[in-house]
Amino acid sequence: TRLGPCCGYSSHEGRTTAGSAASSLQHLPTTAAVVAMSLPLNPKPFLNGLTGKPVMVKLKWGMEYKGYLVSVDGYMNMQV
């Protein structure tokens, strides 16, 4: 299934990766974990890191697709 852009992302320069953010959160106190969750994360590397993993994509009108992420392009079109 090919999916088009469904969410409005802002293009912030991410200073952390999804993997490092998730692994570091388990070692932080609660207040620091909340701060770490609010750090901007660049969505393109984040989505590329999910390639080959199970995902659920929710479109802005509510339709959901579940499956394995096959590919993502520069416009955030996704193949599940």
Domains of the chain are: 2-79 (2.30.30)
Higher pLDDT, 74 or 37: 74
25-52 pLDDT per residue, tens: 455 556 665 666 677 888 899 999 999 9
Listed in sequence order, the residues at least 6 apart from 31 whose beta carbon sits closer than 8 Å to its beta carbon are none
- 22 is written with which tokens? 């998730």
Considering only CA atoms, which of 41, 48, 56 is closest in space to residue 76? 48
In this prediction, residue 14 has a pLDDT band, given cuts at 50, 70 and 90, of: very low
- 72 is written with which tokens? 């993502």
53-77: buried (b, 16+ CB within 10 Å) or exposed (e) per residue? eebebeeeeeeeeeeebeebeeeee
Say what the pLDDT of residue 34 is. 61
